[in-house]
Amino acid sequence: MKKVKITVKKIIIHEDLIEEYENKVEHACLMKVDDSFISEDAMIPKGFCESAWISLYPFVFALASGSNNIYDNWMKNKNTAMISCNDGFRPVSFYLEAFE
């Protein structure tokens, strides 16, 4: 299997939604832009957010297994994907890159 580098590219914080709907949560997301992780054998990297992993895993597994061109020419580099986590209050966009 290929390794997959996972890089945090953008974090959006919806303060209005947090204020209206969320109970106070300490350390809801510890990710920072440019943080990167390496997934080996399509396994969750140490220290990676488990909730975000649920969103990313199918794409990490596909890239690690040698799939490319996900969604037919969606990405300029066929061995990559841009995926966001499922946090509606503070979604994080991750760039996935398969490599040997």
What span, in angstroms and rounded, lies between the C-alpha atoms of 46 and 44?
6
What span, in angstroms and rounded, lies between the C-alpha atoms of 24 and 51?
18
Query: In this predicted structure, what is the pLDDT of residue 87?
Result: 94
Query: In this predicted structure, what is the pLDDT of residue 26?
Result: 82
- Each residue's pLDDT tens digit in the chain (100 positions)? 999 999 999 999 999 999 999 998 888 889 999 999 999 999 999 999 999 999 999 999 999 999 999 888 899 999 999 999 999 999 999 999 999 9
Distances (CA, A) of 28 to 49, 67, 75, 91, 96: 10, 32, 30, 11, 22
- Asked whether the beta carbons of 55 and 85 are under 8 A apart, the reply is yes
